Each structure stands twice: as C-alpha cells, then as structure tokens.
Amino acid sequence: MLMALFADIHANRPAFSACLAQAQTHGAEHNILLGDYVGYGADAEWAVTTVMDLVEKGATAVRGNHDNAVSDRSETMNPEAQVAIEWTRGVLATAERGFLAALPLVQNDGDRLYVHADVSKPQSWRYVMSAEDAARSMVATSAAVTFCGHVHRPMLYTMSATGKVTSFTPVTGSPIQLLPGRRWLAVLGAVGQPRDGNPAAAYAIFDTDRRELTFCRAPYDVEAAAAAIRSKGLPPWLADRLLVGR
C-alpha cells in the first residue's frame, strides 16, 4: 500500500491542494496527517474541513501544537504565530474547534507510529533536530518507524542495533528503503510553510510493501498563498517567508 504523509499544512490551501493532487497521481491509497492544520496561513476553515473530510474517508490524523492552541489558551507562541492563532479562533466553527481538540497526540499503526513532535513527551512539543533528539524519541516507542513533523525541514534518522544514530537529508524523489533490524524516524518537511530554503510544499510517500520512503515536493502558487495571508490582515512576515521557504 502507498501512504501519503503530510505535516504542517498551516492553513495553506494552494500548497495542500497541490500535495493531495500530486500524491493521487503517485497512486497514494491512504493519507496520514501529522498535525498543525492551522496557524500562519489564510485558509484555516478550509484546511480543517478538508482534514475532517479526509478522516471521515479513512485518513489517520494527529494533533499539532497550533491545533492544540485553538482551544488551549495556555499554549505560547511567537507574536506573529499568536496573532494567527487568535484570528483562527475567530474563523473556525464550534464543530471544527471540537474536531481539533479531540484529535489524539499519537497514533500507532502496526510497527509504525505517527506523532507531530517528539514521541517521548508529545504535548511538550519538543523539536526533533539532532541525533540526540531522535534517539530520545525512538527509544520512547517500540515502533520500528516513527513519522513526525513540527521541524518544517525534511530529515531522516536511523538507529542501529547498538544504539548508534545517524542522520541524512533526503534527496527529493529518491526512494529510501527502511531496512529491518534498525529503527527509523522520518521528520517530514512542511506542506504549508517549508523552512529549508525550498518554497515548494513538502510531503512523503511510504510504500508499506517495499518499506520504501520517498520525500516529495509539490510546486504550488506561492504568490497566491502569500496574497491570501495579506488579504486577511495577518502579519506580512508570514506571507514573505513563504516566498523564500524560510
């Protein structure tokens, strides 16, 4: 089975639409959604209702910190992100806010685990940005493969039987076989707000039969997404950063 994995959509309608369309052309049969459907972007209502529809059709979804912040006012963020969350609270209906609040922090699927951030303390929203971070996350679960987001930059970590962790930045479009006998942690790039210098939306395809993971990029109308942010009166920096993938 081919699974499409998406993280950090951040209310970016053009980006998520492009990823869904491209994943469909690749033959994806199941969608995995790793959180942060809202925040930063201009199409919060569309993003949440789209995710709700995908879940109704069988997709797997977990909650991210921006999703959590919609209902949990104790979540703290940088000033621009906070403005976006406060705006999001005003545009989402009760059903949409309830859907986000009810999403699980972690989902297990056989030898795979789906989470937004660090597995060891999911609601602390710790970033996985180093071999040490990845090791802490991998040893906190018995899953052979962990998929997460939150970092907005693609990375793949692997742990040997002796506990040694290595990492590498994946090449777009090149399948990577996740060999048995090792532990794996894949940090997806962001659909809606990439931060690796490439404005194209990021997601991944996992072939469960071949155990092959392919990191993908979907070009989209970045200018339209940026213009939508400005039209909503959100901080201009949130629009500007999309143009440079930062």
Classified by CATH at the fold level, domain 2-244 comes out as: Purple Acid Phosphatase; chain A, domain 2 (3.60.21)
Amino acid at 104: P
CA 143 to chain centre: 19
Tell me the pLDDT of the chain (246 aa) as tens digits.
999 999 999 999 999 999 999 999 999 999 999 999 999 999 999 999 999 999 999 999 999 999 999 999 888 888 889 999 999 999 999 999 999 999 999 999 999 999 999 999 999 999 999 999 999 999 999 999 999 999 999 999 999 999 999 999 999 999 999 999 999 999 999 999 999 999 999 999 999 999 999 999 999 999 999 999 999 999 999 999 999 998
pTM of the model: 0.96
58 burial via Cβ count (<10 Å: 0-12, 13-18, 19+): exposed
